[in-house]
Amino acid sequence: MPNITLKVNGSEVTRDVDPQTLLVQLLRDKLQLTGTHVGCDTAQCGACTVHLDGVAVKSCNMLATQAAGHSVTTIEGVAAADGKMHPMQEAFNQCHGLQCGFCTPGMVMSAIDLVQHHDSSSEAAIREGLEGNLCRCTGYQNIIKAVQQAAKAMA
């Protein structure tokens, strides 16, 4: 088995992994970072979204070996060291942008990437930017409000 080293939430991690191990499996099963969810196993729902070198990726669609030498941030790694929530997490909380919570970690990770790297200036741009993340509960309206609120806080 290959031995890989990567940085996860700011800490260097080295693990032996089977070449077929998906990044989401490494995070959840080997590193116990269970905030990254497995929803569809086909990269359609976005529940497994993490940041790879600061860019949102679907970790169920990537081999762990592909992340070797890179930096991965999961939902557990976006809050400040003192526990203060990231502005996006705070906005999801304040705007009630979640219900069951299953999609929330991936939605937050995608929304952070959207605000940092893409157009989030309008409701239409936010809807388009989050179209790879599915939520079965909210109807998205409060998610849109949360992203708009967080975008102002992150500016």
Give tens-digit pLDDT for 115-128. 999 999 999 999 99
Phi, psi of 61 (to 5 degrees): -115, 20
Instruction: Flag whether 98 is in a domain.
Output: yes
Q: How far apart are CA 142 and CA 92, in angstroms?
A: 8
Same domain membership, residue 56 and residue 104? no
H helical segments located in the chain: 23-25, 87-94, 104-117, 123-129, 141-154
C-alpha dihedral, 57 to 42 to 148 to 105, nearest 10°: -80
pLDDT in tens, 55-86: 999 999 999 999 999 999 999 999 999 999 99
Indicate the number of domains in the chain: 2
Cα 84 to its chain centre, rounded Å, is 17
pTM: 0.96
Structural domain boundaries enclosing 54: 3-76
pLDDT band with cut points at 50, 70 and 90 for residue 155 = very high
